[in-house]
Structure 1
Amino acid sequence: MGEPTDERERIAQLERRVAELEAELARTRAESAQRIRELEMMLHLAEQINQSLALPVVLHSIMQAAETLTRAEASSLLLYDPETDELFFEVATGEKGEEVKQVRIKRGQGFAGHVLATGEALLVNDVANDPRHAKVVDQQSGFVTRNLIAVPLRIGETVKGVLEVLNSRDGFFAPSDVAALQTLSTLCAIAIDKAQAHQALQELFWDLVRAMVAMLDARNPYTRGHSERVTEFSVAIAKEMGLSDADCERIRLSALLHDIGKVGIPDAILLKDGRLTDKEFAIMKRHPEIGYRILEPIDQMRPYLAGVRYHHERLSGKGYPLGLKGDEIPLDARIIAVADVFDALTSDRLYRPALAPTAAIEIIRKDTPNDIDPDVFAAFLRAWEKGLIVEQKRRPPTPSPFAVMEEIAS
């Protein structure tokens, strides 16, 4: 009589065990799916870091991923300012993100300051009762922190910042969330380190370019500093025209390089103290094309070629090397042309002293109305009136019209 009951009990036990296994399998599948999503997101971020040099965009993407992976309502990336020994918000997401960015945190202050001081990660699920909660961020931003994770951002062995996620949508954060945020912190460190290395390389490259340009200008004592001044004038014009920061930076570097082709002009012509013969002038006119041919094989130089090659083109088509007309001439070159002519006229030359700036402006206005872009010249005048165009301090001479026009042409 007891055997059927025992059999039913065994069957019930087996059914319970099967249900437990099915539940465990479902949990395992869910965890595996979550791990796969995390891995896919990490790989995507790693690819973005590898392909992009736009650090703010990459960092924002990493912090958005932090929110997604930990199911947080907000996230922030704080970087260390060694001059003030404080943390500042580089990225802050969530509804109070902009308000939070106004706050700075001292070493040892609050959770982020504690992480900066100790280099240890924090998981706090009851912020209100934790004595380390400084409340300064909440008070100044209006944000209410319930729970958080904060991990150090290390570059090498040094803590350079803190990553935070705040207010779990599930009510609490788990240790696995700490591990995910630590992985993202490593990605942040890689992105920052890569950006800093690229910036250092760029600065070194352009320091070398500036040194090379200075050496070129120094071949002739009358043109020393010419390229730097043309660069300053060109950027002032570009800004006055409302061009973007990226456009202004491109024009800055184009202007710095605009006369690089003169490295191929013999000293006998470049330093001649009298009028150039037709043959000599023809050789001098080659310098834009020489500069173009020097830079064109270098991929990094491609954005700057227009200013180098076409800064002696004129709207009338009487310029060189190609005789381009009007809008055929790139805007960068039209801007550099005005800056170049103004600096040439207001600088001493072997055959004449410098013009006064007002005299130079009048010559450009009267003698080249068909050659200079009127919009560019108008922007130049506005920049001049604002004191953004600072010419060399020279005596106001009275040059011969022939000498002036020859210089504008060259």
Structure 2
Amino acid sequence: SLRAVVRRAIEHIRLQRENIQLREAVNLKRITEALGSTLELNEVLQVVLESALAEASADFGAVLLDCKDQERIRLAASRGEGEAPVDLSILDPLESLDAWREGSQKSILIKAGEETPFPCPLLARESRKSAMNVPLRAKGEFIGVLHVAREICPDSFTEGNLETLQMIAAQATFAIENASLYDNLHHDYMAIIRALANAVEAKDPYTRGHGDRVVKYTQSIGRCIGLDEEHLEKLKVASILHDIGKIGIRDQVLLKPGPLTDAEYSEMKLHPIIGDRILEPIRSLKDIRMWIYQHHERLDGKGYPEGIGGDDLVTPSRLLIVAEVFDALVTERAYKPAWSMEKVINFLRKNADTHFDREMSEVLIQLLQEEGESFYKENVIVY
């Protein structure tokens, strides 16, 4: 009967809606879990974009963040197949930037053929057919825009697509806020680490910049041997702080222009122990403390302070050992001139498997041969 047909049609529509709602709930849960798995802002933004592209069936996505303190916007992330450039110069005049902020406060859906209602470098892309902008907020304050576009697919977005993007943006806001807080804390943390290192360098002009250079060398070698970002970040801190214990060495020993006596050298060899004691209360530096403690050890066990070697020296310690010695060789010190690159390479080869890990030595030699003296003569700050 007609009534039965209508009932079946209504039931079919209801089931379709429930299926869509269930799929959206499952996808939202997946997105929430993915966003909660990291505090790195760049990773958060990539998760947001991947989710937005997939859920909206878009082929280009981007996040613009509002840098209010600098009166500019930043293309924080972009992803997709679009070929057209993102021209941020559209917002160079302050009045255009203000117009963008005002226009971006609300969600917007632009269908194929429709004009851009306000200055926006994303909506103005020539390849754009249909696009959506959704505002991102933190603690109620506008912080930027989540944008997706169809630049290959000719079909326009729907209101349903816009609602989905708004849900993703709502989840993204919390993740971005947490990641930004973490980013600020990390920046302050690194500033404190740097201040500690400055305290040592203020005592000894010959080591000024030594930590910065060791950072560069450990990062370069570490990437070549395949260390992950977590280890590289920890190595950065270890490289900056490896000589922190020298703050406890008497000036007449630390700054002595000539060779040290046996007693003075014994005192100098205490600086890894002093550094370990200084850093001991900081629980987050537990691994890093060990690397710093071992940075004057040798592979053959003839180093200090423990005289350990072989398998007792972990990879980051081995890396720090060769980087620290390398910088001492190529820079002028009170007791010696800077060595030539050829002399350094010969020294590294001669002392592989005794003083240094052979793999670390070979990687460093390869970097020197590829980049030449610019590898160690250019002033580089990498944090």
TM-score (norm 1): 0.69
Verify the 8 A CA contact 1:116 1:152 in the aligned structure 2: no
1:74 aligns with 2:74: no
Alignment-mate amino acid for residue 92 of structure 1 = R
Verify the 8 A CA contact 2:201 2:207 in the aligned structure 1: yes
**SS of match in other structure, 1:388:** helix
Cα distance, 1:209 vs structure 2: 0.8
After superposition, the C-alpha distances for 1:215-263 in whole angstroms (9 at most, x for unaligned) are: 1232345544433343344445556x46557355443322111122334
Q: Distance in 2 between matches of 1:231 and 1:63?
A: 32
- Write out aligned runs for 1:250-269 (5 A): 250-265=234-249
Aligned to 1:153: 136
Cα distance, 1:76 vs structure 2: 1.1
Aligned to 1:9: none
CA change 1:137–1:273 in 2 (3 A) is closer
- Write out aligned runs for 1:299-318 (5 A): 299-318=283-302
Cα distance, 1:33 vs structure 2: 3.6
After superposition, the C-alpha distances for 1:31-89 in whole angstroms (9 at most, x for unaligned) are: 2343333233323323332331244443333334334544x243412415768967748
Cα distance, 1:381 vs structure 2: 4.8
1:118 aligns with 2:109: no
Aligned to 1:8: none
1:187 aligns with 2:175: no
Q: What is the total number of aligned residue pairs between the two structures?
A: 358
Cα distance, 1:357 vs structure 2: 2.2
Cα distance, 1:213 vs structure 2: 1.1
1:46 aligns with 2:29: no
Aligned to 2:187: 203
CA change 1:209–1:245 in 2 (3 A) is same
Aligned to 1:400: none
Higher RCO (C-alpha under 8 Å, 6+ residues apart): 2
Match of 1:291 among 267, 270, 275: 275
Cα distance, 1:181 vs structure 2: 1.4
Q: Distance in 2 between matches of 1:371 and 1:37?
A: 60
**SS of match in other structure, 2:291:** helix
Verify the 8 A CA contact 1:306 1:330 in the aligned structure 2: no
Q: Distance in 2 between matches of 1:277 and 1:296?
A: 30
CA change 1:178–1:311 in 2 (3 A) is same
Q: Distance in 1 between matches of 2:275 and 2:242?
A: 8
Verify the 8 A CA contact 2:46 2:77 in the aligned structure 1: no
Q: Distance in 1 between matches of 2:11 and 2:282?
A: 58
1:361 aligns with 2:344: yes
CA change 1:235–1:181 in 2 (3 A) is closer
CA change 1:56–1:274 in 2 (3 A) is closer
Q: Distance in 1 between matches of 2:24 and 2:49?
A: 14
**SS of match in other structure, 1:193:** helix
Aligned to 2:356: 372
Alignment-mate amino acid for residue 152 of structure 1 = P
1:61 aligns with 2:47: yes
Unmatched runs of 5 consecutive residues or more in structure 1: 1-11, 393-410
CA change 1:391–1:45 in 2 (3 A) is closer
Q: Distance in 2 between matches of 1:391 and 1:169?
A: 48
Cα distance, 1:165 vs structure 2: 4.7
CA change 1:286–1:61 in 2 (3 A) is same
- Write out aligned runs for 1:134-149 (5 A): 137-139=125-127, 145=129, 147-149=130-132
Cα distance, 1:198 vs structure 2: 1.6
CA change 1:279–1:172 in 2 (3 A) is same
Q: Distance in 2 between matches of 1:320 and 1:116?
A: 60
Q: Distance in 2 between matches of 1:34 and 1:181?
A: 15
Q: Distance in 1 between matches of 2:349 and 2:53?
A: 63
Aligned to 2:211: 227
Cα distance, 1:167 vs structure 2: 8.2
Aligned to 2:95: none
Aligned to 1:320: 304
Measured on the aligned residues, the alpha-carbon RMSD in Å equals 4.3
Cα distance, 1:211 vs structure 2: 0.7
Verify the 8 A CA contact 2:349 2:361 in the aligned structure 1: no
Q: Distance in 1 between matches of 2:153 and 2:338?
A: 69
Q: Distance in 1 between matches of 2:363 and 2:134?
A: 50
Q: Distance in 1 between matches of 2:256 and 2:75?
A: 57
Q: Distance in 1 between matches of 2:177 and 2:123?
A: 31
TM-score (norm 2): 0.73
Identical-pair percentage: 27
Verify the 8 A CA contact 1:66 1:75 in the aligned structure 2: no
Alignment-mate amino acid for residue 390 of structure 1 = K
CA change 1:242–1:114 in 2 (3 A) is farther
CA change 1:183–1:242 in 2 (3 A) is same
Alignment-mate amino acid for residue 301 of structure 1 = L
Verify the 8 A CA contact 2:53 2:148 in the aligned structure 1: no
Unmatched runs of 5 consecutive residues or more in structure 2: 93-97
CA change 1:68–1:324 in 2 (3 A) is same
Verify the 8 A CA contact 1:216 1:262 in the aligned structure 2: yes
Alignment-mate amino acid for residue 344 of structure 2 = I
